[in-house]
Amino acid sequence: MNAPHAHPHDHDHAHGRDHDHAQGTGRTARLRHRAAHLVKPHSHEASDKVDSAMESSAEGMRALWISLAVLGVTALLQTVVVVMSGSVALLGDTVHNFADALTALPLGVAFVLGRRAATRRYTYGYGRAEDLAGLAIVLTIAASAAFAAYQAVERLLDPRDISHLGIVAVAAVVGFIGNEWVARYRIRVGKRIGSAALVADGLHARTDGFTSLAVLLGAGGAALGLRWADPVVGLLITAAILLVLKDACREVFRRVMDSVDPVLIDTGEAAAREVSGVLSVTDLRMRWIGHRLRAEVTVVVDGALSVRQAHAVAVEVEHALLHSVHRLTAALVHTDPAATPGTEDPHRKLAHHLARAA
């Protein structure tokens, strides 16, 4: 008997907020969950749900606006120093900061799209827009690396003097501090809400911080009369940017290819096995859609169960998954009947007939 159970909902109720960070599974968690239901009955109505995905999108938007403001102020201050000193290196750093601030635009569009409800054409919603934004950010990091390399080579071939070295050094420090703060903030929020694109954007901000350090070291070298110091350091920083680009590419590529942390699979399987009535877990798949996780699982139950009983087991499996796997917002549970002694599994029988027909 098969009892497929589709139960997509965000499942982040007022009584279950603490479960959002819970990773453990077991009997204690289930008893606590059931006790909470006695105090406040569980509701599946849309009006009674708290949309955690919406909240995380709002948090992502807040991170974008704050980082955009910080980088905007940093770039404007550096622009004033560029006009005063004529530093080409600082000009490149300023351009990087403006470019990094502008990467907030595709991410902002992605977060806004992610809030839209699913349609009959886009049945999973618009969460994948974040992956497209991540690709755009990776291309921006690559362009920044190319620009930094070009500036470094040009200055190496045609060294130039820098004026107002003290002010340039201060601007470089301000640029590094601003970018590093934004990088840490974006990466922290991106990991908390599960947004690979926001993490990649944070890594991009870190590359601009490296560029600011290059300006600082170049200014120090110029103060010592070493005109080649600035372009050589620029080339070294370009290499560092490429290393960050590799990490960003890996993060975004894995998300586009539906990669998930194997620990999440282990946690989900352990939670499903703990459910009363589940004999085994034969298949569990997860995928990211934006910063939300969806799961599909097949569990084996007693073949003598009725459809209603199998459905009840599927509901319990769904609850166990949603309360044990971080960022999981929907689960599709399918129940397979266990083959009883002396009978043949109907699935194998059907597969055998199809193979013979082929």
Profile the chain (358 residues) by mean pLDDT over runs of 10 residues: 43 39 42 39 31 59 84 87 78 74 76 83 86 84 81 78 81 88 89 79 78 78 77 76 82 87 94 95 91 92 94 96 91 89 53 55
CATH architecture of 5-47+260-357: 2-Layer Sandwich (3.30)
Supply the pTM of this predicted model. Answer: 0.63
Nearest one of 96, 107, 164 to 137, comparing CA atoms: 107
Residue 336 in tokens: 């397979």
pLDDT of 59 reads 78
Q: Rounded distance, CA 307 to CA 304, Å?
A: 10
Output the DSSP codes for 159-225: ----S-HHHHHHHHHHHHHHHHHHHHHHHHHHHHHT-HHHHHHHHHHHHHHHHHHHHHHHHHHHHTT
CATH homologous superfamily, domain 52-256: Cation efflux protein transmembrane domain (1.20.1510.10)
Output the DSSP codes for 26-68: SHHHHHHHHHHHHHS-----GGG---HHHHHHHHHHHHHHHHH
Nearest one of 113, 120, 123 to 290, comparing CA atoms: 113
Domain ranges of the chain: 5-47+260-357, 52-256
Output the DSSP codes for 223-273: HTT-TTHHHHHHHHHHHHHHHHHHHHHHHHHHHHTT---HHHHHHHHHHHH
